[in-house]
C-alpha cells in the first residue's frame, strides 16, 4: 500500500474508521511499528456531509495544510470493496522531518485507538510520491484502500490533529462514518 505524505493525515488515517474494531487496531499497529498570544482565524468548522459520512475541517486559517476538497468513491463506501479518496490541499509553508499526526479512532463513544504517526517516516516506509521536505504549493493526492468485509454496523469517529516539527498546527480533521445506514 502506498501513501503520500499529504495523504497520511487526510487519507490513510480516515481509513481506520472504515475498518472493524480488530482490523482498525491491527491495521494501525502494522502501519506504525501554540499561538504565542496571537489571535488566529478559524475556518468555521463547516460540516461537509455526504450519504454515510461527513467531515469537519477543524483547523485554523494558519494551518500549514489547507484542505480544499475531500472526495470518497464510491459514496457511500462499501465493505469488502476498494475505496478511493482524493484530497486537494494547499501547503502554506515547507513541511520538514519530524512532522507528526495524533489520531484517535472511536467506535461510538468507545476509544479504539490513540496513536501518533510520524508523517515523514510513513512516507519513506511506503515509497510515497511526496516525501519530506514538502514544499509550499497546491497538491492533489489520490489513495485507494481495500475495505474489509467485516466492517461492523456502527458509527466511527476519527480525530486527526497534525503538527510540524516545531509544533505548529499542520491539519485538523474530524471524520464521521456511519456503517449502519443502507445495510440490510
CB-based contact 125:70 (threshold 8 Å): no
Indicate the pLDDT class of residue 38, thresholds 50, 70 and 90.
Answer: very low
Give the pLDDT confidence score for residue 91 in this predicted structure. 96
- The 10s digit of each residue's pLDDT in 88-135 is 999 999 999 999 999 999 987 899 899 999 999 988 887 777 789 999
pTM of the model: 0.74
Give the pLDDT confidence score for residue 108 in this predicted structure. 77
Give the pLDDT confidence score for residue 3 in this predicted structure. 42
Instruction: Enumerate residues 6+ apart whose C-beta is below 8 A from 29.
Output: none
Mean pLDDT of all residues in 160-180:
93
- The 10s digit of each residue's pLDDT in 151-168 is 888 888 999 999 999 999
126 grid coordinates: 511506503
Asked which of 4-18, 65-79, 151-165 is least confident by mean pLDDT, the reply is 4-18
Mean pLDDT of all residues in 13-17:
37
Indicate the pLDDT class of residue 144, thresholds 50, 70 and 90.
Answer: confident
Give the pLDDT confidence score for residue 6 in this predicted structure. 46
Mean pLDDT of all residues in 17-30:
36
Give the pLDDT confidence score for residue 181 in this predicted structure. 66
Show me where the domains of the chain are located. Answer: 7-33+45-178
In angstroms, what is the C-alpha Rg of the chain?
A: 16
Instruction: Please state whether the peptide bond connecting residue 74 to the residue before it is cis, i.e. omega within 30 degrees of 0.
Output: yes
In CATH terms, 7-33+45-178 corresponds, of 3.30.2130.30, 3.40.190.10, 2.70.220.10, 2.60.40.10, to 2.70.220.10
Amino acid at each position: 500500500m502506498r501513501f503520500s505524505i499529504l495523504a497520511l493525515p487526510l487519507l490513510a488515517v480516515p481509513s481506520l474508521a472504515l475498518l472493524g474494531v480488530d482490523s482498525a487496531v491491527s491495521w494501525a499497529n502494522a502501519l506504525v511499528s501554540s499561538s504565542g498570544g496571537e489571535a488566529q482565524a478559524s475556518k468555521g468548522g463547516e460540516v461537509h456531509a455526504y450519504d454515510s459520512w461527513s467531515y469537519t475541517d477543524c483547523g485554523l486559517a494558519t494551518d500549514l495544510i489547507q484542505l480544499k476538497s475531500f472526495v470518497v468513491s464510491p459514496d457511500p463506501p462499501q465493505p469488502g470493496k476498494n475505496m478511493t479518496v482524493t484530497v486537494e490541499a494547499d501547503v502554506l509553508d515547507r513541511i520538514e522531518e519530524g512532522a507528526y499526526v495524533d489520531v484517535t479512532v472511536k467506535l461510538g463513544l468507545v476509544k479504539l485507538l490513540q496513536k501518533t504517526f510520524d508523517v515523514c517516516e510513513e512516507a519513506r516506509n511506503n515509497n510515497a510520491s511526496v516525501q519530506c521536505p514538502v514544499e509550499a504549493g497546491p497538491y492533489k493526492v489520490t489513495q485507494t484502500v481495500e475495505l474489509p468485509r467485516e466492517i461492523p454496523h456502527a458509527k466511527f469517529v476519527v480525530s486527526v490533529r497534525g503538527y510540524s516539527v516545531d509544533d505548529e498546527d499542520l491539519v485538523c480533521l474530524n471524520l464521521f462514518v456511519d456503517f449502519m445506514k443502507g445495510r440490510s
